[in-house]
Amino acid sequence: MDPVIITPDDVAEAVRRAPNWKSPGLDGLHHYWLKGFVVCHSVLARQFQEALDQKSLPSLFTTGITHLVPKDRDTIDPSKYRPITCLPTIYKTLTSILSARITRHLNSNQVMSRAQNGCRGGGRGTKEPLLIDAVIGKVVKRNRRNLSAAWIDYKKAFDSVPLERVLELYKVDCTVRDFLGQCMGQWSTILCHLGERMTAAENHIRIRRGIFQGDCLSPIWFCLTLNPLSTLLEGSGRGFQLRRGGTKVTHLFYMDDLKLFASSRSHLMELLNITCDFSNSIRMELGTDKCAVLHVERVRVANSEGIDLSMPINIRTLSEAETYRYLGMSQNIGVDEAGMKQSVCDVFYARLTKVLNSLLSGVNRTHAYNGWVMPVLMYTFGILRWTQTELNALDRKVRTIMTSHRMHHPRSSVMRLYLPRKHGGRGFLASVITF
């Protein structure tokens, strides 16, 4: 990797990609102000370069604020809280620049496996693995093929990643390695609950293992750690072949969400043993309660006992009536379309009702609908087979709910509701047109 020289253009690009009002850390600075004060970019570039050369950073910038957000009403159980860490904006800007440089190095040398979709720029995110999985399900049903698949989940994945030699293994610039190693030794956080600090300012919680949540380097760091597993699985010679002479699909990866494919139970056992051996070697633990196995023989789901691996663990086997939620989709042999459509519609209408019951102005309700309600439906486009009739019925129900909340007169123009605001319309997205 070439030596890193930070320029004002690098700072401007990192700031441009960041959200304006994302919650800041201890510095209390939003990216909005860094975007506006362009004159600061050259100063930041110079100071970032000095910190990189001196391999040190003030402890203020490596200290986060971890907000404990309850998952449900059981607030007595500590496991029912989701920790969300906010880091200083200056630190995130610096690590965003370093992440871009490391990504450029990895792409130029084709280091990252194509099966990993978690940190690949220019991709479609979770849509790609879901589309590949949907194609495999259709081939199995149409051609009456045998299939063995396994869903693997890691327990506290980001807390378990070993970072000591990851960057050295992929030949990242030594200055960057030393700088990040120094920052790792300073990582600490302050716990907050309901907006109040739970620890004194001088009693920070030190982070001894894993990845700093909220760090711009975290996704690529995590993917690099699991990248050798993709190499081992692809080199095993196992997998599911879509057609004779075609490429074998051994697995799909999205960050730590892994799905294995094989043409038989014995081949799947080999892939599972490879996964467990690798996970043991890097000291990452499988969340067996969230793992599952599926065996399909002649389009019928075969019932069997859980698979015993070389480790003393047991993975449950799905029955024909059970489904597994993978990347937001309930799956068995392919996607459970009827169940998913009903689930998506329930969430869609619930969000719509929340927006209409809010105190937002008309234009902001439009923005909330397009940016928060419609994405629930848009995520399924291409994965679920929506018909024109279903989407028309959905749009009609949306207008009915809007009428009941006095947002749309029953005799007003339907076309005007979906026209852009600059053309005299109200700017709502129509599901039929968006599809």
- Whether 89 shows a pLDDT value over 90: the answer reads yes
Q: Do residues 149 and 167 share a domain?
A: no
Percent of the chain with pLDDT over 90: 39
- Write down which residue in 303, 334, 365 finishes a domain: 334
When pLDDT is cut at 50, 70 and 90, the band that residue 304 belongs to is low
Q: Do residues 184 and 204 share a domain?
A: yes
3-state secondary structure of 21: coil
The Cα-based distances of 339 to 128, 239, 397 in angstroms read: 21, 28, 19
Q: Do residues 202 and 241 share a domain?
A: no
Q: Do residues 327 and 229 share a domain?
A: yes
How far is the C-alpha of 248 from the C-alpha of 240, rounded, in Å? 5
Query: pTM value?
Result: 0.82
Q: Do residues 192 and 65 share a domain?
A: yes
Beta strands in 333-412 (DSSP E): 334-335
| pLDDT at 191 (0 to 100) | 87
How far is the C-alpha of 129 from the C-alpha of 133, rounded, in Å? 6
Give the pLDDT confidence of 155-182 residue by residue, as tens digits: 776 665 656 677 777 888 888 888 888 8
| pLDDT at 299 (0 to 100) | 79
Of 67, 59, 116, nearest to 91 by C-alpha is 59
Of 303, 51, 332, nearest to 176 by C-alpha is 51
- Write down which residue in 298, 314, 334 finishes a domain: 334
| pLDDT at 197 (0 to 100) | 78
- Write down which residue in 334, 369, 397 finishes a domain: 334
Pairing of strands 329-332, 324-326: antiparallel
Of 405, 397, 408, nearest to 353 by C-alpha is 405
- The rounded mean pLDDT for the chain is 87
Q: Do residues 420 and 293 share a domain?
A: no
| pLDDT at 307 (0 to 100) | 56
Specify if 117 maps to a domain.
no
Q: Mind spelling out the 3-state secondary structure of 196-237?
A: EECCCCCCCEECCCCCCCCCCCHHHHHHHHHHHHHHHHHCCC
Q: Which residues contact 109 (CB under 8 A, 6 or more apart)?
A: none
**Overall size of the chain counted in residues:** 435
| More confident call, 70 vs 374 | 374
Specify if 217 maps to a domain.
no
- Whether 404 shows a pLDDT value over 50: the answer reads yes
When pLDDT is cut at 50, 70 and 90, the band that residue 122 belongs to is low
- Whether 366 shows a pLDDT value over 90: the answer reads yes
Specify if 214 maps to a domain.
no
The average pLDDT across 323-338 equals 86
Q: Do residues 102 and 142 share a domain?
A: no
The average pLDDT across 262-290 equals 87
Domain extent at residue 357 = 337-434
- Whether 376 shows a pLDDT value over 90: the answer reads yes
Q: Do residues 360 and 234 share a domain?
A: no
| pLDDT at 300 (0 to 100) | 85
| pLDDT at 375 (0 to 100) | 94
Specify if 273 maps to a domain.
yes
The average pLDDT across 113-132 equals 81
When pLDDT is cut at 50, 70 and 90, the band that residue 306 belongs to is low
Q: Do residues 293 and 252 share a domain?
A: yes
Specify if 2 maps to a domain.
no
Give the pLDDT confidence of 224-248 residue by residue, as tens digits: 888 899 999 999 889 998 888 788 8
Specify if 118 maps to a domain.
no
When pLDDT is cut at 50, 70 and 90, the band that residue 114 belongs to is confident
The average pLDDT across 205-213 equals 78
Q: Do residues 20 and 35 share a domain?
A: yes
56: region left, alpha or beta (phi > 0 left; psi from -120 to 50 alpha): beta
The helix (run of H) or strand (run of E) holding residue 190 is strand 188-193
Q: Do residues 255 and 282 share a domain?
A: yes
